[in-house]
Amino acid sequence: MVVATAILQLICPDRPGLVSELSGWVAANGGNIRHADHHTDSGAGLFLSRIEWDLEGFGLPRASLPAAAQLLAERLGGEGQLHFSDQLSRVAIFVSKQDHCLLDLLWRTRAGELPMEVPLVISNHPDLRSIAENFGARFEHVPVLAEHKAEAEASQLALLEEEAIDVAVLAKYMQVISGGFLQQFGPVINIHHSFLPAFTGAQPYQRAWERGVKLIGATAHYVTEQLDAGPIIEQATVHVSHRDDVADLIRKGRDMERLALARALRQHLCHQVMVYRGRTAVFD
């Protein structure tokens, strides 16, 4: 039996007494803390906190918690977010033609590994419709042509709104998301098929082979306007040798892509990731 919990994420200027103040607020309302994790970035003078407690028996009504957390954060001069563990995130998966990450995420969702629903799959190609529909997701083919990119993104945003999507995941979506899109929707999580910051941009495996590296990798990160430069959530590497040609790197890399994306997404969905100053703290 899994117990529903509330999760508070808070960032504020560092000062003495914050841990006590936050945990005291939970305790004063009868909350039983399951996890409490904090991080102080001394250089930045910032305090980050993630506290998770049982909803059962908590003194404040559930509906009032987001506002209460907001007030608490404001009092501390920071920003706070309140999540509920039993409220599944609604996730849209963007794909192109490669199916391995899509299938992996859909399977993990069905297996209970990822606390999310996937009501929507968007692709600039029609190829993966049957996989999406097989797992009960609506599939929308939105072609993206260079000269009509704005229209395509408008269609995508309308779909995200229509399906009340919380998070978009680029699961080998071979298109760049524009800054305009990101101003209207977020967060967006991407899997890049290299060990960032090495090999940003196109054809990382080809370039890794040309450079003759002995390890290749994958990086899951939040998407920002600057290509492949967003906050990194998770990275994974695997050994390669001179016997591996580019096709082997692609094959071996796919395993790292799936692992890094699934781990990063799970951490995000469990509200373990906090972003600050272009970096992440991952409270796992």
Residues that bind its own copies (CB under 8 A): 15-21, 23-24, 26-28, 30-40, 57, 99-100, 103, 107, 111, 113, 134, 195-199, 211-215, 217, 231-237, 241-243, 251, 255, 259, 262, 278-282, 284
* 176 vs 198, beta carbon nearer its own copies: 198
* 23 vs 175, beta carbon nearer its own copies: 23
Peptide bond into 119 cis (omega under 30): no
Catalytic residue among 104, 166, 228, 244: 228
Per-residue CA distances from 253 to 149, 155, 257 (Å): 29, 32, 6
* 195 vs 205, beta carbon nearer its own copies: 195
Per-residue CA distances from 147 to 122, 144, 181, 227 (Å): 19, 8, 16, 20
Q: How far is the CB of 130 from its own copies (least distance, A)?
A: 9
Instruction: Give the DSSP per-residue string, 186-252.
Output: --EEEEESS-TTTT-SS-HHHHHHHHT-SEEEEEEEE--SSTT-SPEEEEEEEE--TT--HHHHHHH
244 as an active site residue: the answer is no
* 148 vs 279, beta carbon nearer its own copies: 279
**Close Cβ partners of 269 (under 8 Å, ≥ 6 residues apart):** 89, 91, 114, 115, 116, 167
Q: Quick one: tokens of 115?
A: 């606390």
Q: How far is the CB of 233 from its own copies (least distance, A)?
A: 7
* 156 vs 235, beta carbon nearer its own copies: 235
**Close Cβ partners of 239 (under 8 Å, ≥ 6 residues apart):** 214, 215
**Close Cβ partners of 232 (under 8 Å, ≥ 6 residues apart):** 196, 219, 220, 221, 279, 280
Q: How far is the CB of 28 from its own copies (least distance, A)?
A: 8
Q: How far is the CB of 115 from its own copies (least distance, A)?
A: 12
Q: How far is the CB of 151 from its own copies (least distance, A)?
A: 33
Catalytic residue list: 228
